[in-house]
Structure 1
Amino acid sequence: MKNNNLLIIIIVAVVVGIVAFFAGTKYRVSQFAAGNFQNGAFRQRGMMGQGQNFRPVRGDIIGRDDKSITVKLSDGSSKIILFSDKTVYLKSSTGSKDDLKTGDKVMVIGTENSDGSVTAQDVQINPPAIGNFNRAQ
């Protein structure tokens, strides 16, 4: 009788563990697919820069108008970031260029133009400090 109870408890524990594992896996996949940018995970197109002139820029916003922001880099230089109709603005949820304020920290993914400015593809507001993105480019 004791052996049967112990066997039933072990089987139930294994089944609960398997169900919890698969439920957790499904939850994580749904969270990544929903955001693709949360917790510092860049969307695939952002990481690759669509194959040309990939240029991450990280720093503080020191100027802003409707078509661009100016970002101060850690080396003291600055970079002009141009917005396009395709620019995506991200914070913990999708934002807009109206969310960009002077003094905010940003990380920008985009293509570098011949004049040294960058046309933004993604602008992350208050990015997490992770990996190689801890330093400005």
Structure 2
Amino acid sequence: MKSNYLLTIIVAVVVGAGGFFAGTKYQQSKTPANRFENLQGGRNGTQQGRGGFRPVNGEILSLDDKSITVKLTDGSSKIVFFTDNTVYNKSSEGSKSDLKVGEKVAVFGADNPDGSVTAQNVQLNPQLRGVPTGAPRQ
């Protein structure tokens, strides 16, 4: 009788572990059909941005050859670093020299451990739908 209980417990543990493992593998196989579907805000209202990056939106406070500091709508600031692969856009292709203090920008890039961002794309004077700008609408 004792061996039946022990066997039942062992079988239950093995089945539970197998189900857990199969569930994690199933979840890993589920990838988004379109990584860009939340570019300007998804159905749930989240802002994701290009390739899953969250955009850094705001006004340029300062700039140098390697970075800009952007004032965010909540009053804080974020340092954004450039690479040789960073793309600059305005209504047409732009360049780093188009950046000016006081300009509005949207930066798409990877978050760094120190809280700064490495830019992959910088948009000058972006038209951001659904993103609060801090200015009242008229």
Give the TM-score of the pair, scaled to structure 1.
0.59
Compared CA separation, residues 116 and 60, structure 1 to 2 (3 A)? same
CA distance in 1, matches of 2:132, 2:106: 10
Residue pair 1:55, 1:118 contacting (<8 A) in 2 also: no
Unaligned runs of 5+ in 1: 1-39
Q: Which has the higher contact order (CA 8 A, sep 6+)?
A: 1
Q: Which residue of 1 aligns with 2:62?
A: 63
CA distance in 1, matches of 2:132, 2:122: 16
CA distance in 2, matches of 1:135, 1:101: 18
The answer to whether residue 51 in structure 2 is matched with residue 48 in structure 1 is yes
CA distance in 1, matches of 2:54, 2:110: 6
Q: Which residue of 2 aligns with 1:113?
A: 112
Runs of 4+ in structure 1 deviating by more than 6 angstroms, as ranges, are none
1:99 is displaced (CA, Å) by 0.2
Q: Which residue of 2 aligns with 1:72?
A: 71
Q: Which residue of 2 aligns with 1:34?
A: none
CA distance in 2, matches of 1:116, 1:56: 13
Identify, as 1 or 2, the structure richer in helix: 1
Residue pair 2:73, 2:132 contacting (<8 A) in 1 also: no
Unaligned runs of 5+ in 2: 1-38, 41-48
Equivalent residue of 1:55, what SS? Answer: coil
1:135 is displaced (CA, Å) by 5.3
CA distance in 2, matches of 1:105, 1:126: 5
Counterpart mapping for 1:1-137 below 5 A: 47-49=50-52, 54-131=53-130, 133-134=131-132
Percent of residue pairs identical: 62
Q: Which residue of 2 aligns with 1:3?
A: none
Higher-Rg member (1/2)? 2
1:47 is displaced (CA, Å) by 1.2
